[in-house]
Amino acid sequence: MADYSRPQTTASPKSIPLSEIAYVFLRLGTIAFGGPAAHIAMMEDEIVRKRAWITQAEFLDRLAAASLIPGPSSTELGIFIGQSKRGWKGLIVAGGCFIVPAAFVVTLLAAVYVRYGSLPQVAGVLYGIKPAVIAIILQALWNLSRTAIKTGPLAAIAIVSIVLNALGVSPLVVLAFAGISSGVRRWFNREVAAAFFPGSPVRLFGWLIATGAGAAAVPVGLLRLFLSFLKIGAVVFGSGYVLLAFLRAEFIAHLHWLTEQQLIDAVAVGQFTPGPVFTTATFIGYLVAGIPGAFLATVAIFLPGFLLVAASGSLVSKIRRSATAAAILDGVVAGSLALMAVVAWQLARAAIVDWRTLLILCLGTVLVLRLRVNSVWVIAGAALAGWLLH
């Protein structure tokens, strides 16, 4: 019978200074273009390969955990990493520093948008950055899959997960399938139930939803804005497109605070700026209530992620102690990588539009995968090349 547990050794036992955690995540938040899959790839490159703060196995476990709770998975992965190195202080510093650069840039763009009624033209820069992002994602998939896809059954689960997601099955359903499939050879027992359904995270999650739902009874204003985004942050799984559906239902259909065009522009800003896509909330908050609205909307949509990571951070090590739970977690890891692969394919179809973008992809892949060039320089070079070529 296969051994589903992975040895958990800490890559760097020394305490990481909070200043170093802040520097790393500020830098990642400034250059992490391309959405969650690209963010995860850059974190793996910086934190596992370059700095060896945690092992690849630990990174994959935290990626799986982040995929199973609501909110922006890449941001929550960073929060998990900060927590693993410096507890609650590292949790706040890592998550906050990853969010702040994007929130600042989005606030500036929102101010320009309000003043001039349109967004700056960034087509040339995006033309070059998009294929470079695909190269960075491919590097992460290659590195992580060598650790995660270690048996034939896990490879089969990953392949089936890719097919299911490509056919339109919800990412959460795909992850559930992957985890259950991996753990089905082990008998479900009370130990697993205790690991996956502890009292405090469930109570916390229920409190978040109940608090956010209370927004319906609050008059229009900053508090209503805060509670609306708190509710969304507590229940949204999946990509920025899933977020779009929640935003439309709340701010167009229900509150009538935005127009369709304003919502489309808000989502576009979240897509082409670095850092978390959830900073779309920052843009909407500014449109509704200026700088106070931008601040409150940003805090509200990310707060559930911080709280849920804080409540569930200790579960990963507990899950690994159970052979069955470890098997389920291995399956979720394989499913998470499958979802990354599908995202990479979807992004590539949109990014590779001619021979120039194909050339940028090929050069970027060689630079990051073979020559081990820092992804920061690859992104910067691709942005310059895109601006010149376009």
- Give domain status of residue 214, yes or no: no
Least confident interval from 52-66, 113-127, 234-248, 284-298: 234-248
Q: Report yes or no: 305 and 233 within 8 Å, Cβ to Cβ.
A: yes
Dihedral angle computed from the Cα positions of residues 246, 250, 254 and 257, in that order, rounded to the nearest 10 degrees: -130
Average pLDDT of 39-68? Answer: 88
217 has a pLDDT exceeding 60: no
- Give domain status of residue 119, yes or no: yes
- Give domain status of residue 157, yes or no: no
Give the total number of structural domains in the chain: 1
**CA–CA gap between residue 323 and residue 73 (Å, rounded):** 25
pLDDT score of 120: 62
- Give domain status of residue 331, yes or no: no
pLDDT score of 242: 57
**DSSP state string for 70-127:** SS-HHHHHHHHHHHHHHHHHHHHHHHHHHHHHHHHHHHHHHHHHHHHSSPPP-HHHHH
Mean pLDDT across the chain, nearest whole number? 79
Average pLDDT of 233-262? Answer: 74
269 has a pLDDT exceeding 80: no
pLDDT score of 197: 43
pLDDT score of 122: 65
- Give domain status of residue 2, yes or no: no
- Give domain status of residue 100, yes or no: yes
Count of residues for the chain? 390
13 has a pLDDT exceeding 60: no
305 has a pLDDT exceeding 50: yes
pLDDT score of 194: 45
Residue-range definition of the domain harbouring residue 129: 18-150+337-389
DSSP 8-state secondary structure symbol assigned to residue 69 = S
More confident residue, 311 or 282: 282
271 has a pLDDT exceeding 50: yes
Number of other residues whose CB lies within 10 A of the CB of residue 89 = 13
Average pLDDT of 57-78? Answer: 85
Find where tokens 């033209």 sit: 121
- Token pair for residue 139? 């590097």
- Give domain status of residue 348, yes or no: yes
Residue 147: name the closest of 75, 80, 61 by CA.
61
Radius of gyration of the chain (CA): 20
- Give domain status of residue 241, yes or no: no
